[in-house]
Chains A and B, each alone.
Chain A
Amino acid sequence: MNAAAPLMILAGAVAVLLAAIAIRRSYFLSAAITSAGLLSALGVIPSVIGAHTSPGLFVFNGESLGFIGLILAASFVILVIAYPYWNGCTKLPREEFLLLLLLATLGATALAAANNFVTLFLGLETMTLAMIGMIAYPRYRGQAEEAGLKYLVLSGMSSAFVLFGIGLIELSCGSLDFSAALSAAGSPMMIAGLAMLGVGAGFKLSVVPFHFWVPDIYAGAPAPSGAYVAVIAKIAVLAVLIRVMSLPGAEMSSGVTDAMTVVAILSMLVGNLLALMQDNLKRVLGYSSIAHLGYLLVAILAVGAIARVAVVFYLVTYAITMAGAFGVVSVLSDADAPRDADRIADLRGMFWTRPGLAAVMTLMLLSLAGIPPAIGFIAKMYIMAAGIHTELWVLIGTMVASSVIGLFYYLNIIIVMSQKPDEHRAVSRISLPGRLTMAAVSFAVVGFGIAPQPLIALLKTVFG
């Protein structure tokens, strides 16, 4: 089978979904097509992972297919979260959201497998444009429209940086191929081009100082879209970054390492400090994601076998946990309402009114804070192990300090949930798919937190 099968299946699914919506609008059918597309693309990965292909515009080796698998799995989880969220929506046609999700996933997988600046840009733009649609989807919410517009303007600017950078690189080495660009010596023009690409990547990864868009967009977007922006976009960009960094000739000079160290330190501290002052859960998650990207940079800066797996392990943890946390918000919210139930005060008394959901949220917060028995604990240990192995003492010290700061706001949310509710608010029932997803995510968080070996073994065989 062709190694590009996952991408082709996704592209086919997009076409089928378009046709299906044109013929007959059915939310259930559209969701079935979307999930069939995602799952079958995911299903073929094991059979193509061994196939030997020579890299061209795309590269399909174990690493890129591993990232594609991660993207597909995470997209599926977000789809399952999004389905019940839009199910009750009466103000809009709901099918196109799924189309946007599928398109964005196609872009993300293309990005993860890109081996050429053309495919990189193509994947990046497909993903970004679809995401803008997802963010601004509930057009009756002013906040969502605002967030979509902000994302449009800012990501347009970052795309301009990326495009300019690509142009400079092409000018200096005469090729758009990654390995050709890396083998060319560091001429000033090349350095300028790479720096511009770095700015673009920094924006997509929302590390400090390119993080200003995060809170508004996370808070304005409907919860499933927020989860998508927080999880998939970051995995795809990191996938390309990690792959390129492992190519020959990509050894970082000390200047780059120093810059990344500063970015990592600032991201950890700024993310956690600003999260302290928020009263909106989605904003907290936004700032927390900035800090988590800072932790990830520690593992990226570390070298060696432990560090390679640490990055991916942390990414998997981050994906599960963020999806779970946004999932709780999405389960609590009503798509027709003018805003999501995303204020921390909205969670008040959840331990008494919805003990199960409160327990899930607690688990997610513990995982984000890195406390056992959640998987986040193992992930944090992994990063610390990688950092200590490479003796990155400053980064490890910052990580410890900022994790302690982070505890404040995670614990604060747990405390709010444990307070007695003021009055008896009507508690709506959570749909069955919502319950099942939350149960599955919690099971993964606790299961891999207690017995991480199967996951580590899998990641080692794919990425190691």
Chain B
Amino acid sequence: MSLVWLIVIPLLGGVFAWPLGRAYPLLTRIVCLASLGLDLVIALPLLHGAVPQQGNWLAAFNAPWIPAFGMSFRLGLDGMSWLLTVLTLLLGMFSIVVSWREIEDGVGFFHANLMWSLAGTIGVFLALDLFLFFYFWELMLVPMYFVIAIWGHENRRRAAIKFFLFTQGSGLLILISILALAFLHERQTGVLSFDYFALLGTQPGGTFGFLVMLGLFIAFVVKLAGFPVHIWLPETHTEAPTAGSVILASILLKTGAYGLLRFVVPLVPVAAHEIAPVALWLGVASIFYGAVLAYGQSDFKKLIAYTSISHMGFILIGVFVINNLAWQGVVFLLIAHGVSTGALFIIVGSVQHRLHTRDLGKMGGMWTDMPKLSSFGTFFILAAMGLPGLGNFVGEFLILRGTYAVAPEVAIAAAVGLIPAALYSLIAIQRAFHGPADASRVQPDFGVRENAMMLALAAAIIWLGVYPQPILNVAAPALQNLTAPPQ
């Protein structure tokens, strides 16, 4: 039951926050923070839970939903979904704090959308009925669309529509694939069901299996923003308000990787092996493409957005190497990237709030007048680059290590991709923070609220970097779920 509360509490938080917004904006923010905090209190102890007869699952819930189609409201939590849920909740809280000063119009509706999007995302991470998963998948998009379309920057309209068309259109492919899978299962067993565990036994082969896989693969890669279906990402991430960018980059991208791991690999394993070589090279292409384009950007926010494409290339490779070591790296990198990119978007957001520009050409020399902002910025750019000792390094290393065992040429190519990463990182630091300061610029440095957020995120990324074992321990049993389906 606590799994249901994990989804319902943010939904209700949004419902209550909306009408409060006009008269009591502060109360809205507090209600949202409190409901996410409450969720966190529910989620944390679940780590020590266990479901009888299902070794690696920590918690489960099952109730009939649409019996006419054999669809049930089935939720389940394992280590991987626990980690991603907790990440969602934490970064959700950061995105509320970061909007404290930035959002002053329509506070209620903004926060309602934020909360609903988070609730949908948590639903995606918990759903173990394929149609329920799709329901949540679609549900998380609409509120995010509003966040971008109403509170975004100059080109918000275009960006929001692009975002929605790409993700919604590819979502329909998921629907077709799961319906086809469920009907195949009905033909095999006589029972129409969308249950994850039931469909694990379907194992479609041949062309049919490949097409089912392809529908899911395309949709998830679109979400992950892998090359060449990444087109929506740079504009969307750039135009969204800071809180929207944080959620998009740190959480929503992860649902694509989660979908690949949770659904594509176990449900259609044969076809997943067939597509793997393509996926690996798409991953390499993403790494280079993202890095090279990031290097060429003069818009600070867009630069960060392109680095996400590059990092998601590693994720794509890691998923389709199909071995446990790389998957450990994938889960790890998902979390580390969530933290580091979330922090970077917060920093870029506060730069824009102060200078009213995202143009790197108009920055420079910020270290002299905003030393705290600049040092945190440098720190997180280095973390995102994969500096040893910080979180992202561990994830990338594990992925490369796992890849080398299976496809050394891919591992080598991906590792070479770290060189342009260093280039764009250093050029960003150079142009934004160093050089002569603009004398006329009088802007305050980070205040208490921002410093506290940054310190927390920095502590997290250092902890991930120097002591990764606890995270790996949580993820490991969950990853066994993917290769050894339970009864």
B 134-172 binary contact with A (CB < 8 Å = 1; else 0): 010011011001100110000001001100110011001
From residue 387 to 426 of chain A, which have CB atoms closer than 8 A to chain B?
A: 388-389, 396, 400, 403-404, 407-408, 411-412, 414-415, 418
* Residues 328-361 of chain B, each 1 if its beta carbon lies under 8 Å from chain A, else 0: 0000000000000000000000000000000000
List of B residues within 8 angstroms of A418 by Cβ: 146, 149-150
Q: Are A400 and B66 in contact, with the CB atoms below 8 A? A: no
Among A352, A373, A408, which residue has the most Cβ atoms of chain B within 10 A? A373
Residue of B nearest to A388 (CB): B179
User: What per-residue 1/0 map shows which CB atoms of A418-445 lie under 8 Å from chain B?
Assistant: 1000000000000000000000000000
Kindly list chain B residues whose C-beta atoms are within 8 Å of the C-beta of A407.
164-165, 168-169
B160 pairs with A415, CB closer than 8 A: yes
Report if A15 contacts B (CB, 8 A): no
Number of interface residues of A (CB under 8 A): 32
A457 located at the interface, meaning its Cβ lies under 8 Å from any Cβ of chain B in the complex: yes
Least distance between A272 CB and chain B CB atoms (Å): 13
Interface size class of B (residues with CB under 8 A): 20 to 34
Q: Tell me how far the C-beta of B46 lies from the nearest C-beta in chain A, rounded to whole angstroms.
A: 25
Interface residue? A150 (CB, 8 A): no
Which of the candidate stretches A59-67, A173-181, A192-200, A377-385 sits at the interface with the other chain?
A377-385
Cβ–Cβ contact B68 & A460, under 8 A = yes
Given contacts A373-B139, A415-B160, contact A453 B176 (CB under 8 A): no
| Cross-chain contact of B172 among A352, A366, A400, A453 (Cβ < 8 A) | A400
The answer, among B64, B109, B149, B169, for a CB contact under 8 Å with A404, is: B169
**Pick the contact of A384 from B66, B68, B168, B179 — CB < 8 Å?**
B179
- CA–CA, A457 to B67, complex, Å? 9
- The chain B residue sitting closest to A382, CB to CB, is B69
CA distance A407 to B161 in the complex (A): 9
Q: Find out whether the CB atom of A385 lies under 8 angstroms from the CB atom of B179.
A: yes
Q: Are A355 and B65 in contact (CB under 8 A)?
A: no
A355 touching B109 in the complex, CB below 8 Å, given contacts A384-B175, A388-B179: yes
Q: Verify B150–A381 contact, CB threshold 8 A.
A: no
**Known contacts A418-B149, A453-B68, A456-B68; A400 and B176 CB within 8 A of each other:** yes
Complex contact B183–A408 (CB within 8 A): no
Contact B173 A400 (CB under 8 A): yes
Q: Is the CB of B180 within 8 A of A388?
A: yes
For the complex, give the distance between the alpha carbons of A403 and B171 in Å. Answer: 11
Would you call A372 an interface residue if the criterion is a C-beta within 8 Å of the partner chain's C-beta atoms? yes
Q: Quick one: which of B69, B131, B142, B165 contacts A371, CB cutoff 8 A? A: B142
Q: Is the interface of B mostly helix, strand, loop or mixed?
A: helix
Contact at A396–B66, with CB atoms within 8 Å? no
Does A452 lie at the interface of the complex (its beta carbon under 8 Å from any beta carbon of B)? yes
Tell yes or no: B435 within 8 A of A by CB. Answer: no
Cβ B161 vs Cβ A400 within 8 A: no
Bits for A147-177, please: 1 = Cβ < 8 Å to B, else 0. Answer: 0000000000000000000000000000000
For B146, list chain A residues within 8 Å (CB): 414, 418
Minimal beta-carbon separation of B134 from chain A (angstroms) = 8
* Interface check A228, CB cutoff 8 A: no
In the complex, chain A residues 356-377 whose Cβ is within 8 Å of any chain B Cβ: 366, 371-373, 377
Give every chain A residue within 8 A of B67 (Cβ-Cβ): 453
Q: How far is the CA of A457 from the CA of B175 in the complex (A)?
A: 23
Give A347 to B214 CA distance when docked, in angstroms.
Answer: 41
A351 contacts chain B at the CB level, 8 A cutoff: yes
Main secondary structure on A side of the interface with B: helix
Q: Which of B141, B142, B157 has the most CB of A within 10 A?
A: B142
The distance in angstroms between the C-alpha atoms of A388 and B168, with both chains bound, is 19
A389 to B131, CA, bound (A): 16
Which one, B64, B69, B149, B168, contacts A385 given CB within 8 A? B69
Asked if B172 contacts A404 (CB within 8 A), the reply is yes
Knowing A372-B135, A388-B179, A411-B161, say if A456 contacts B172 (CB, 8 Å). Answer: no
Once the chains are docked, how many angstroms separate the CA of A100 from the CA of B172? 42
What separation, in Å, do the CA atoms of A377 and B176 have in the docked complex?
13
Q: Are A411 and B183 in contact (CB under 8 A)?
A: no
Task: Evaluate contact between A457 and B179: CB separation under 8 angstroms.
Answer: no
Contacts of A388 in B (CB 8 A): 176, 179-180, 183
Give, as a whole number of angstroms, the nearest-CB distance from A313 to chain B: 10
Asked if B165 and A404 make an inter-chain contact with CB atoms under 8 angstroms apart, the answer reads yes
**Is B109 within 8 A of A351, CB to CB?**
yes
The listed residue (B68, B176, B180) touching A457 by CB distance below 8 A is: B68
Residue with the greatest number of chain B CB neighbours at <10 A, chosen from A378, A388, A408, A460: A388
Q: With A and B bound together, what is the CA distance between A388 and B183 in angstroms?
A: 8
CB-nearest residue of chain B to A386: B179
- B145: chain A residues at CB < 8 Å are 411
Is there an interface contact between B66 and A453, defined as CB atoms closer than 8 Å? yes
* Distance in Å: Cβ of B115 to nearest Cβ of chain A: 14
- Whether, in the assembled complex, B371 has its beta carbon less than 8 Å from a beta carbon of chain A, the answer is no
* Nearest residue, chain B, Cβ from A449: B135
Most interface-central of B64, B161, B172 (chain A CB within 10 A): B172
Report A-chain residues with C-beta under 8 Å of the C-beta of B172.
400, 403-404
B:61-81 near A, CB below 8 Å: 64-69
A372 in contact with B139 (CB, 8 Å): yes
How far does the Cβ of A123 sit from chain B's closest Cβ, in whole Å? Answer: 32
CA distance A408 to B68 in the complex (A): 32
Which of these, A351, A381, A408, A460, contacts B175 with CB under 8 Å? A381
B106 on interface, CB distance cutoff 8 Å: yes
User: Could you say which residues of chain A place their CB within 8 Å of the CB of B180?
Assistant: 388
For the complex, give the distance between the alpha carbons of A366 and B146 in Å: 12
Which residues between 25 and 84 of chain B lie within 8 Å of chain A, taking CB atoms?
64-69
* Residues on B with beta carbons closer than 8 Å to the beta carbon of A372: 135, 138-139, 142
In the complex, the answer to whether A366 meets B175 with C-beta atoms within 8 Å is no
Report the Cα distance A145→B150, complex, angstroms: 40
A389 CA to B151 CA, complexed, in Å: 42
User: Which 6 A-B pairs have CB atoms at the shortest separation, nearest pair first?
Assistant: A404-B169, A456-B68, A400-B172, A388-B179, A418-B150, A372-B138
Name 17 extra pairs, CB < 8 A, besides A385-B183, A400-B173. A352-B106, A372-B135, A381-B131, A381-B179, A384-B175, A385-B179, A389-B183, A403-B172, A404-B172, A411-B161, A414-B146, A415-B161, A418-B149, A453-B65, A453-B66, A456-B66, A460-B68
What are 9 A-to-B residue pairs whose CB atoms are below 8 Å? A352-B106, A355-B109, A371-B168, A388-B183, A403-B172, A411-B160, A415-B149, A451-B65, A460-B68
